[in-house]
A and B are shown apart, each in its own frame.
Chain A
Amino acid sequence: EDQVTQSPEALRLQEGESSSLNCSYTVSGLRGLFWYRQDPGKGPEFLFTLYSAGEEKEKERLKATLTKKESFLHITAPKPEDSATYLCAVQRETSGSRLTFGEGTQLTVNP
């Protein structure tokens, strides 16, 4: 069974204080690992897809990296508008488009 564990559950940062979120996964035959951002009362918003160990992707203050066991979402000099829940999900090669989600990390960036 696929498993996705995210840590920490919640993270409070001061504006400008860089940090990383972790996503550990166990999946038989990874097709892709996805990062989403979810604001309260909204659906998840797609951020990144990573396909293989060693891959990195960046978007503004966010950078996602992938190893064979985990993925990190690095946030550099965060701003209050980066406050959200960040979700990690994995897709198995044999599962079609189905995603298995982690519990998420709730990020709060204080001004």
Chain B
Amino acid sequence: GAVVSQHPSRVICKSGTSVKIECRSLDFQATTMFWYRQFPKQSLMLMATSNEGSKATYEQGVEKDKFLINHASLTLSTLTVTSAHPEDSSFYICSARATGRRGSSPLHFGNGTRLTVT
């Protein structure tokens, strides 16, 4: 149980284009999902908290107009990297916790999306 599916696993795009990454909770509902970014040999940095039916909450320093988050249902959140540049190349990972579980229940992570902007 508690499977989080992320798609695509890899994407290469040209500078200036936009890329959408999907995060789905397959066997549970998730009111809240989280989007992380990870650079090589570094830890996960929280980018934003995605809330079903409302606006996402972004961490300090993360441009909300560049990283658009939509959480339209209890099982799907999307991250769109708009007008991508080479410095946006990174490993993006989503996570979720089952709705109704207590606050200290573990987050379950997707397998990440490797974005390369050329």
* Nearest CB in chain B to that of A49: its residue: B106
State the CA gap A62–B91 with chains docked (Å): 27
Task: Using known A-B contacts A96-B32, A102-B43, determine if residue A49 contacts B109 with beta carbons closer than 8 Å.
Answer: no
In this complex, how many residues of chain A approach chain B with their Cβ under 8 Å: the count is 23
How many A-B contacts at CB < 8 Å in the complex? 59
Report whether A97 and B97 are in contact in the complex, using a CB–CB cutoff of 8 Å.
yes
Q: Report the minimum CB–CB distance from B68 to chain A (whole Å).
A: 20
- Residues of A close to B106: CB separation below 8 A: 34, 46, 49
Which of these binds chain B: A14-22, A36-44, A67-75, A76-84? A36-44
Most B C-beta atoms less than 10 A away, residue of A41, A43, A45, A91? A43
Are the C-beta atoms of A43 and B111 separated by less than 8 Å? Answer: yes
Which of chain B's residues has its CB closest to A98's CB? B46
Cβ of A99 < 8 Å from any Cβ of B? yes
Shortest beta-carbon distance, A34 to chain B, in Å? Answer: 6
CA distance A97 to B34 in the complex (A): 9
In the complex, whether B72 has a CB less than 8 A from a CB of chain A is no
Q: Is A63's CB within 8 Å of the partner chain B? A: no
A43–B109 CB distance below 8 A? yes
1/0 per position for B86-118, CB-CB distance to A under 8 A?
000001010101000001111111111010000
Complex interface: chain A residues within 8 A of B6 (CB): 43
**CB-CB < 8 A to A25: which residues of B?**
none
Name the residue on B nearest A95 (C-beta): B103
Q: Could you list 12 A-B pairs, sorted by A, with CB under 8 Å?
A: A32-B104, A34-B107, A41-B91, A41-B114, A51-B104, A91-B103, A97-B32, A98-B46, A99-B44, A101-B44, A102-B43, A103-B43
| Contacts beyond the supplied A43-B112, A97-B32: 11 A-B pairs with Cβ under 8 Å | A41-B91, A43-B6, A43-B95, A43-B111, A44-B44, A45-B109, A87-B43, A96-B103, A97-B34, A99-B46, A103-B42
